[in-house]
Every structure is written in structure tokens, then in C-alpha cells.
Amino acid sequence: MLQKKVLPRLDESLLTHLPPFSRLERRQIRTILDQATSRRYDQGVAIFDEGAQADRFYMLLDGYVRVVRITPTGEQVTSLHIPAGQLLGIAKAIGRDSYPATALTATESIVLSWPTRLWETFVREYDGFATETYKTLGHRVGEMNTRIVELATQQVEQRVANALLRLINQTGRKVEGGIEIDFPITRQDLSELTATTLHTVSRLLSGWEKRGLVESKRKRIKVTNPHALVVLSQG
């Protein structure tokens, strides 16, 4: 559940290194922070829901978020994972008044948010805010286009390998024996990301574990042989 208590006053240094605010002076960042609401979310909580009025936009300070869509038949499809340090819920940037997807916390997360009415002010008054935000959107659109091409042209094994490689590139952390995806991820999550079945993902991961490519346990996936996974991803 969402913890209602607002977090203590945050320091400007939290935003100085993040792209939308990296060109700003500390006094400008202080002004931005003073207009923000900060909240801590438990794992598995919706920050906002698909189709809801986009009355706020958000910055993920800590944690990971899964962006999910609901199909007409009620199935949940994961379309993106967003790491800390990025904006989300920026419906205004794509000309929408409602959120195009649901944002679910993949881990406990700390999130800043601002009323959507401030969007135009930030774009107008803060150098780099708009350009860096649209760069982020461009990267996300590029990732989605890549996945569409994969769905149309690749076998399931290639798609799952590519999905794992993307996740360790975006969120991986070095651990003993390999690179681990730095948030809980289930085989069901991976099946949603790759438009395949849970059975198929389980079969592939089990086979790769026997070959020493990955280790998978308790919602954690570690890639132990990235090069072999790259070879598989290329078919």
C-alpha cells in the first residue's frame, strides 16, 4: 500500500545529476523541489493507472517501475521497465490528458511528483528540461520499435535472450559469477515482455541454466554468460 506520510525535505543534490535538471542552478532546483510532493511506495503499487486523468507527472528517485498495458481481453502486458532517475507519467509531452499505461513499482520506490499544470512552466523556464525529456521519450520509442521488430522477425529464443540483455544493460549489477537484474523479476514478467507463454520462458530458462548461461531463483535472474546470450539473441 502507499505510505501516506510525505518524506522529509529533500536536498537539491538529488536532482543535479539527472538529465531534465542537470543544466539548472541549485536555486532553480530548490524551487522545483519546493513544488514537488515526495512519497515512498511499496513494491507492487500502481503510481498511476492507465486511462486515469493525468493530473500529475513524476520523477523516479529510487527503485524500478514496470509500465504495463491492459489488453481488451484483460491480459496484462509489460511494455517497459523504467530505472531510477527518469521522468514518468509525462502524458503532456505526448499531447495526452490521460495516462497511456499503468506504472507499477517493481521494488519499493521513492517518487517525486508535480501537478501537470506546472509542465508548461518547467518547459518554458528551465533550460534543457524539454530537450532532455524528449530525448528520454525518443529512447523509449526506440526501445518499443526494436521490440516490435523482434516480435515480427525473431524466434522466441532470440526474443527472450534480447529481453534479458536489455534488462542487464539497463539495470544490471555485477555480482559474483555474473550480472544480476537489479529488481525482482518473475518468469511471468519475462513472458509478458516477450509476448510468449510462461511455459516457454520456463523451458528456455531451465535449458539455459543447464548450459551455464543464467541462474534463476526467487524472482532473481542472473546472466552468467553474457556472450553466449548475445550469440543466441542473434539467432
CATH of the domain at 115: 2.60.120.10
- Of 15-29, 37-51, 127-141, which one has max mean pLDDT? 37-51
The predicted structure's pLDDT at residue 3: 45
Q: What is the DSSP string of 82-133?
A: EETT-EE--GGGGT-SB-SSEEEESS-EEEEEEEGGGHHHHHHHSTTHHHHH
Last residue of a domain, one of 128, 160, 179: 128
Residue 8 lies in a domain: no
106 is a domain residue: yes
Looking at the domain assignment, is residue 145 inside a domain?
Answer: no
122 and 21 together in one domain: yes
Average pLDDT value for residue range 77-87: 87
Of 230, 198, 224, 222, the residue nearest 211 (C-alpha): 224
| Domain carrying residue 226 | 152-233
Shared domain for 75 and 28, answered yes or no, is yes
Q: Which of 38-52, 112-126, 143-157 has the lowest mean pLDDT?
A: 143-157
Supply the pLDDT for residue 131: 83
Beta bridge partners of 173: 180
17 and 109 part of one domain: yes
Of the given ranges (41-45, 168-172, 206-210, 221-225), which has the lowest mean pLDDT?
A: 168-172
Place of cell 510462461: 198
Q: What pLDDT, in 10s, does the model give residues 32-46?
A: 999 999 999 999 999
* pLDDT of res. 112: 94
End-of-domain residue from the set 64, 93, 128: 128
Is 102 found in the same domain as 208? no
pLDDT single digits (tens) 46-78: 999 999 999 999 999 999 999 998 888 877 788
Please indicate, yes or no, whether residues 73 and 169 belong to a single structural domain of this protein. Answer: no
Which of 74, 96, 128 finishes a domain?
128
Q: How far apart are CA 220 and CA 111, in angstroms?
A: 24
| Number of domains making up the chain | 2
The secondary structure of residue 218, as a DSSP letter, is T
pTM (predicted TM-score): 0.79
Q: Is residue 107 part of a domain?
A: yes
Residue 134 inside a domain? The answer is no
Residue 14 has pLDDT above 70, yes or no: yes
Give me the CATH number covering residue 203.
1.10.10.10
